[in-house]
Amino acid sequence: MAQGIKIMNSKEKQERLSQEKRLKKAWLLPKGWRYWSEVNNSEVGLWYTVTSLCFFFFAGILALLMRIQLAFPENNFLSADSYNQIFTMHGTVMMFLFAIPIFEAFSILLLPQMLGARDLPFPRLSAYGFWCFLIGGIFVCGSLFFGAAPKGGWFMYPPLTTSYQPGVGADIWLLGLTFIEVASIAAAVELIVGILKCRPPGMRINLIPIYAWYILIVAIMILFAFPPLIAGDVLLEMERAFNWPFFDTTRGGDPLLWQHLFWIFGHPEVYIIFLPSVALLATIIPTFSRLPLIGYSWVVLSAVGVGFLSFGLWVHHMFTTGLPGITLAIFSVASQAVAIPTGVQLFCFIATLVAGKFIHSVPMLFSLGGIITFVVGGLTGVMVAVVPFNFQAHDSFFIVGHLHYVLIGGSLFPILAGIYYYAPIVMGKKLSDIKGKWCFWIIFIGFNITFFPMHISGLLGMPRRVFTYPKEMGVSHLNLISTIGAFILASGFLILIWDLISSKLKKQHSERNPWKAGTLEWTMEIPDRMWGVRSIPKIKSRYPLWDQERFVEDVDQGKFYLPDAAEEMRETLITSPIDAVPQQCLRVPGPTFITHWAAFFTGGFFIFATYHWWTLAITSGVFALFSILYWLWTGSAWIPEKKVKDVGLNQTLPIYVSGPQAVGWWAMCITMLADFTAFISLIFGYFFYWTVREDFSDMTGSGPGIFWPVLSAILFILAYLGTRLSKNLNRKNHRKSFYSTLVISTLFSIFGITAIFMGPIIFNMDPTTHVYPAIVWVLVGWTGLHGFVGIIMQFYCLARRWAGKMTAEYDADITNVTLYFVFLALTSIVTSAVIAGFPELI
Amino acid sequence: MEPYSILNPAADASVTIYGVFKILLIVAIIIWFIFLALLLYATFFNPHHHDWIKSRRYIIGGGVIGPIILITLLVFYSLRPLPSLLKVPPKSRQIIVSGLQWWWRITYLHGQQKIETANEIWLPVDRPVEFILESEDVIHSFWVPALAGKIDMIPGRSNSLVFTPMKIGEYPGVCSEFCGASHSLMRFKVKVVSQSDFDQWLKKESRPIDSSLRPLNHVGGKLFVSHGCISCHTVRGVGTMGTVGPDLTHVGSRSEIASGALKNNLAALHRWIINPEKVKPESKMPSFNMIPKKDLEALTLWLKELK
């Protein structure tokens, strides 16, 4: 009997070893220079993190240069011009190249582990996003070394940035950052679909790790916050490049539209930066209280509340622009109200700490330091939300102090806590406790010495964004103190770098789950294995390592889902968004260089456009398009060799799904929501002009008429109906009628595009004369461009079917394209209604 | 002394705001210390397990009820003074201030008369004033910390800022919206004086220069015309008038030049005329380093005479 068990054990062991061999082969890292073709989340996430930390240090050095210049009154260390470039780049790099990317990087790196997934659903999309980010970031930062950097502030207010800064700097900002924002949105799509569809079986919506909840909220915020800025970028760049007068008051424009679009992005942006860090706190604090987070649902709901409210606060950045009292009052109340959900989250942490058993550790040191620092920033935030005080404090150094307390306390300290906390997973080594403490105290003290005096300088009347100040202002000593503090702060970061490098060089690996945490990611073996989890577990608790018996052993022994890679392909489990019921065994694509080409050519398009080298830009754009098509053609919607697959625990799942169960469908839907938000932002611009500017309505009669816009909407609706019909015909395997319907609806799309352009062409609308024709042209162009993309998609489906890569059964391509056409039809209906209806009819 | 400070308010608006600020500050400090105490209690003074049901009280009390009460009180308290800050009192004196890169065009509306000056504003004490704020190029912001909050100057719009100065004195102002290379060097002065001093000053400002200083009678005036200064600057009584640069009719009486970048003395005037770029980067004032030294001296002496 005993021998029998032994034999079985060794047989089992044999089996397990061969499973591991197959898993290893599937998830193998490419060797040599091909290493860079890897798309797996743990590599891309790591590159992403390291790159954004590099940008952080770069922007930090810029801050030191500014502090040297401001150390003494009337100092000559930097010229006005270089100071203005440097402060613009400091803000821009910290916001766009560090604060947002670092959270995306952390999430790409850690989310699969937290969700017990092998990878996120679109590894190549993450890789594409990363390479775009790297190229765009280097391009934007590099401009500084040629003295050609943007110098209009990170807020880029026109008309300073349209008519008064002729150089290439503003274009670098607009196009370089639009390029990076596209990458951010790509990451947001990846994270949303990942959290909704890649959770382990049993992880119902109430068991989602708190970190994932926050990331879900933040990623959704990105979808709605970034597009208004992209719309603004489009308008501003159109004015710079083609003289379309969106912000020129002499031709009907209005510079305030930019401020609205910028801050509709800019304020949620603060919370996009802040919430992921709160997520880290909410993950770290329970671990060191040895207690599940108290008030889980309170925290989630208040995070949702903050997310919602953050879209209704933007005007508090514009209190001094001369708005009516009632507007000021409404936005002031909303801005103060956001303190309530924020407070709920902090008090949930306090409650957890009170109830639990507090364990001293470096991550906790950073967390607590972050919280009390953030509370200072939060309280000064409520102060500046009070309109009368805002009139004084706005654009003074008081704000500089306030925002750094918010961002460093609310974001950077938790990020450092996260680095110390997650180092064992990411590097396989624990960071030093002693160096960690030194690092914390030096940064904490240096930070307060730097930024606390800034509140006082502000109250003494020092405005922001000044390259120098007179001695009579009486802020010389305060500025000198700030400068000294900045260098102390910087030296703390040197300790961090030292700690990271020396720990990386240490031979000894950390033990497994060194903090004795309860969350799923600590199931990870250290050093980690390329495949992530050995088997994808069934989850019954928010803290499975604390609550589920024999959890780690069962995972390790492959007792859960997908313990094997029988076909030696990369696979992960797709589940339903609410109840996490297994739906599909998703095969994710492996290493490739096509994403690099796609990123490279997309970058080329934006970079050449910056210099107005249109031929090169368009060529590069065409190459980007073809790279992306090739990538989709070879890397998506593979027809599997069998319909279903045994995923373990006596369950078989389909390998290929289409429609609302499929991750591709979700990605299309989410991307189009972001796209549609950008479109709605342009519509907002249209109505802004219509309500604010009297001369806008005076343009009645010069518009595109009613006939052509309406005709175009009808044609696009027909194109949508045709595409939908062809999808159904394909599903019924009516091959010929599928082809003919799809070709006919392609023709509808082409006529739709022609019709939408006919209006402004026939009426001879010149976009350089007035904002009215300009905004009509923008809407028409937007619709036309989307129609063009739609045509490419229709051809793609025709080709897929023809090549046998799409069949009646495996029809994800046409299903997703049909979804695209829903949004296209909506876009054209709204465009037509707006340009034909206002002010023509009303 | 910190002349730019909002902590030494000298007008009704700034006094009101200072009062609000003091209360906000005290409340904020109290809340912060309570929070710190809670956090320290929860961590260092309380290392053992507690009943977690009881701990939920922290969330409901500290996270929900407390902030809702406080924020409600705060909203009422903070919005109360807003109408008085925005309302224009009857019989306010109207002054148009227009922002340009990087100086201030100031126009007094005096009956039917428009009196233009630059970078220095005189106000009678205890009389309400309404500034009509405009911009001729980019966005600027008008801020005299000791007297009132700031309001932006936006092209295509005209904003209004009202206050009543309460103390005689000199109050410097700054541009507080980033407006390009020399944003930091866009300053001005507000001089609050007695009603009679003000009347006298305004009367003087409304007049052209003395006939003894005109080009026919004074070499400096002649040079001002022959070197082309008049194509940008107005000196009333000299001839055709440029409006690109500040009105210099009474420049000699101002305490500063180049919008607060330099004190108004002969050496500074020399510097400014010869190498404005050095004083104020990217300023529109061209360099006149080719002027013979003799001419330069005559010109600056004449400018100092324009009182």
- Mind telling me how many Å the CA of B66 is from chain A's nearest CA? 9
* Mean pLDDT value of segment A334-339: 92
Strand partners, A561: A536
- Alpha-carbon distance of B127 to B195, in angstroms, equals 9
Q: Which residues of A touch B64 (CB under 8 A)?
A: 340, 343-344
3-state helix, strand, coil in chain B (%, to 5): 40, 20, 40
pLDDT at position B118 over 80 = yes
CB-CB contact of A86 with A144 (8 Å): yes
How many contacts does A have with B, using Cβ atoms within 8 A? 270
> Complex ipTM above 0.90?
yes
CB–CB contact B152 A468 (8 Å): no
CB–CB contact A375 B32 (8 Å): yes
Q: Kindly report, residue by residue over B76-104, the tens digit of the pLDDT.
A: 998 999 999 999 999 999 999 999 999 99
pLDDT at position A6 over 80 = no
pLDDT at position A839 over 80 = no
- Mind telling me how many Å the CA of A321 is from chain B's nearest CA? 5
* Mean pLDDT value of segment A147-165: 94
Peptide bond into B90 cis (omega under 30): no
Q: Which two tokens stand for residue A52?
A: 């954004």
pLDDT at position A453 over 60 = yes
The predicted structure's pLDDT at residue A9: 76
The predicted structure's pLDDT at residue B49: 65
Which chain B residues in 190-229 lie under 8 Å from chain A, judged by CB atoms? Answer: none
Query: At A395, phi and psi to the nearest 5?
Result: 55, 25
Strand partners, B191: B122, B170
Q: Which amino acid is at A476?
A: S
* Mean pLDDT value of segment B10-25: 96
Q: Kindly report, residue by residue over A665-709, the tens digit of the pLDDT.
A: 999 999 999 999 999 999 999 999 999 988 888 877 788 889 999
Peptide bond into B102 cis (omega under 30): yes
SS3 A572: strand
pLDDT at position B72 over 90 = yes
Place of tokens 């046409």: A814
* Mean pLDDT value of segment A48-66: 97
Q: Specify the DSSP element, H or E, that contains B196.
A: helix B195-206
User: According to DSSP H, which parts of A243-317 are helical?
Assistant: 255-289, 296-309
* Mean pLDDT value of segment A49-53: 96
CB-CB contact of A553 with A523 (8 Å): no
Decide: pTM greater than 0.90. yes
- Alpha-carbon distance of A533 to A116, in angstroms, equals 6
**Nearest by CB: B181 against A84, A333, A474:** A84
CA separation (Å) from A469 to A167, B4, B214, B258? 27, 11, 38, 15
- pLDDT interval class at A1 (50, 70, 90): very low
pLDDT at position A581 over 80 = yes
For chain A, say whether B50 makes contact (Cβ under 8 Å): yes
pLDDT at position A287 over 80 = yes
The predicted structure's pLDDT at residue B149: 96
Which chain B residues in 150-179 lie under 8 Å from chain A, judged by CB atoms? Answer: 150-152, 154-157, 159-160, 172, 174-179
- Alpha-carbon distance of A465 to B185, in angstroms, equals 11
pLDDT at position B240 over 80 = no
Q: Kindly report, residue by residue over A482-496, the tens digit of the pLDDT.
A: 999 999 999 999 999
Which residues, 6+ apart, have CB-to-CB distance to A473 below 8 Å?
A73, A460, A461, A462, B2, B3, B4
CB–CB contact A388 B35 (8 Å): no
The predicted structure's pLDDT at residue B61: 86
Place of tokens 């500050």: B25
Which tops the pLDDT comparison, A695 or A272?
A: A272
Interface probe with B: pick from A347, A399, A452, A478, most Cβ of B within 10 Å? A347
Of B163, B165, B162, the closest CA to residue B198 belongs to B165
Place of tokens 């609310």: A410
The predicted structure's pLDDT at residue A744: 97
The predicted structure's pLDDT at residue A384: 95
Of A202, A187, A13, A26, the closest CA to residue A118 belongs to A26
Average pLDDT, chain A: 94
CB–CB contact A461 B174 (8 Å): yes
Q: What value, to the nearest 5°, has the Cα angle with vertex A649 and ends A648 and A655?
A: 40
- Alpha-carbon distance of A356 to A349, in angstroms, equals 10
- Alpha-carbon distance of A432 to A361, in angstroms, equals 11
pLDDT at position A113 over 60 = yes
Q: Which two tokens stand for residue B192?
A: 């609050």
